[in-house]
Structure 1
Amino acid sequence: MPENARLIGSIDQIDVEFVEREATPELLMKLGIQLHLTGLSLSNIVSILEVFGVKRARSTVHNRVHKADLQPEAGQSPDHVAVDETVIRLNGQQYWLYAAVDPETNELLHTELESTTTTVLAQSFLATVREKHDVEDAVFLVNGASSLQTACSRHGLDFSYEKRGNRNSVERIFREVKRRTSSFSNSFSHAEPETADNWLRSFAFAWNQLI
């Protein structure tokens, strides 16, 4: 599918009903949200909106991204699920990003940001994945993270240790997340963990639309 068709389809799925008494045309609000999630800085988005005669502060665009409450679509039925965790830095502190990916489509199924990594949190993460998607018959691909292996076992999920191969999909996504959070510091600058968690779910939504 052409890139512009996927971009338009993604814009159509963004709901901006949360905005009240807003003079900005709905299409431009959606465009600003989409452009930020696909990699454009807030400053550049403000400049683009000005071309259409709309002047808005960077904070306005930033707030719209988070209030849109975007996240990956539920109800997927993957044959395999690659799961992993990686460290994300937020205001100088370490947080752990859990992610589940369908390696056949490279789509993100679910993300969660936690202040630490434990087997209990890994179990909670997998419980949410099971609630959102039909994964009872899927094979979960895990690396050396003992917490995820133990969590899969306790959930009675079929899992396989795989260092590379199909697990490359989740590694590519983690690299992109880290590139984005380091290049566009205004995404996480002085952000609360809840705000960062929301941004990551929004990123997952945009990622799925454009891959």
Structure 2
Amino acid sequence: MPENTRLNGNIDQIDLEFVEREATPRLLMKLSIQLHLAGLSLSNTVSILEIFGVERARSTVHNWVHKADLQPESGRCPDHVAVDETVIQLDDEQYWLYAAVDPETNELLHTKLEPTTTKVLAYSFLTELSEKHDVSDAVFLVDGSHSLQDACQRHGFDFRYEKHGNRNAVERVFREIKRRTLCFSNCFSNAETETADNWLRSFSFAWNQLI
């Protein structure tokens, strides 16, 4: 599928029902959200708006992204699910990011940001994943994470240890998320955990549209 077709489809799926009074044309708001989630910094995104004669602050674009409340589509039925947890830096704080990826499509199925990692949080993450997608017959690919292995076992999921192979899908996603959060630290300066979690779901939405 041509890249411009995927971009157009992504823009069409952005819902601006949250808008009450906004002088910016809706098409430019959608374009700004799309460009930022696709990899453009907030500074460069507002520079694009200026080309169209619209001046907006970086915080305004950030708020558009947050309020749009984008997230990956539910209802998937993957054969395999690669799950992992990793530490990411947001502003001056460290958080644990849980992620589930369909290794056959590289699509993000679910993400969750937590202040730490425990067996209870890992179990909760898989519970949320199973509520969004039909993963009852999926094979879960887990590395050395004892908390995720324990969570899979408690859920009764079929899982196996795999360090490479199909697990490379989730590693690629983690590398991109870390690159984005390091490069675009202005997204997360003094941000609440909920705000950062929302941004990561929005990132997941855009990632799935563009891969």
Normalising to structure 2: TM-score of the pair? 0.98
Deviation at 1:186, TM superposition (A): 1.0
- Please list every run of 5 or more consecutive structure 2 residues that lacks an aligned counterpart in the other structure: none
Counterpart of 2:152 in structure 1 is: 152
1:106 and 2:106 are equivalent in the alignment: yes
Deviation at 1:91, TM superposition (A): 2.9
**Deviations 1:147-191 (CA, angstroms, capped at 9, x unpaired):** 000000000000010000000000000000000011111111111
The one-letter code matched in structure 1 to 2:2 is P
Deviation at 1:56, TM superposition (A): 1.1
Alignment of 1:29-108 (within 5 A): 29-108=29-108
The one-letter code matched in structure 1 to 2:189 is S
The one-letter code matched in structure 1 to 2:119 is T
Length, aligned pairs only: 211
46-55 or 58-67, larger mean C-alpha shift: 46-55
**Deviations 1:18-37 (CA, angstroms, capped at 9, x unpaired):** 01111211111000001000
- Please list every run of 5 or more consecutive structure 1 residues that lacks an aligned counterpart in the other structure: none
**Deviations 1:25-66 (CA, angstroms, capped at 9, x unpaired):** 111100000100011111111111111121111111010000
Secondary structure of 1:30's match? helix
Counterpart of 1:197 in structure 2 is: 197
Percent of counterpart pairs with the same letter? 79
Q: Where does structure 1 differ by over 2 angstroms across 4 or more consecutive aligned residues?
A: none
RMSD: 0.7
The one-letter code matched in structure 2 to 1:73 is E
Alpha-carbon separation, structure 2, partners of 1:93 and 1:184? 15
